[in-house]
């Protein structure tokens, strides 16, 4: 590996860490990327929830790709007893980072527009 390759990898890691740290508030809350949706397609995607610098919490899909999620308006995330948890608009816990989940919605050219609910898959 060349010095240039090492420098490029260091920059990617540093930017990712700064991005993740920037998503965490003083109360342990994580800023989620959200959007109001009037109609929701019946598609779904699956993956493992993970912290994501573009959306706060996103997915790692079965191919290993990192996918940002645009969450429904009112959803939130925060540290809940040492685990990052996603909550619905009523404040009910839905899933934790590390859970295998299915999220209804639609691919919108990069991120996943989550609008059809979140189901933890055992």
- Annotated domain spans of the chain: 3-120
Contact in structure between 46 and 61 (CB atoms under 8 Å): yes
Does 13 or 26 have the greater pLDDT score? Answer: 26
Output 17-24 pairs: Cβ under 8 A, ≥24 positions apart.
Answer: 19/53, 19/54, 20/51, 20/53, 23/51, 23/53, 23/56
Give tens-digit pLDDT for 41-54. Answer: 889 999 999 999 99
User: pTM here?
Assistant: 0.75
Quote the Cα angle for 97-29-122, to 5°: 20
Tokens of 86: 């996603």
38 band by pLDDT with thresholds 50, 70 and 90: confident
């Amino acid at each position: 590996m060349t010095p240039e390759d090492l420098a490029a990898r260091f920059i990617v890691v540093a930017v990712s860490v700064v991005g993740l740290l920037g998503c965490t508030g003083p109360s342990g809350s994580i800023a989620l990327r959200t959007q109001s949706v009037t109609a929701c397609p019946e598609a779904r995607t699956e993956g493992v929830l993970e912290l994501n610098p573009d959306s706060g919490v996103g997915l790692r899909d079965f191919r290993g790709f990192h996918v940002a999620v645009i969450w429904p308006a009112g959803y939130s995330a925060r540290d809940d007893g040492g685990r990052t948890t996603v909550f619905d608009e009523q404040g009910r816990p839905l899933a934790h980072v590390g859970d295998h989940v299915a999220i209804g919605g639609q691919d919108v050219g990069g991120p996943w527009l989550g609008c059809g609910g979140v189901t933890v898959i055992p």
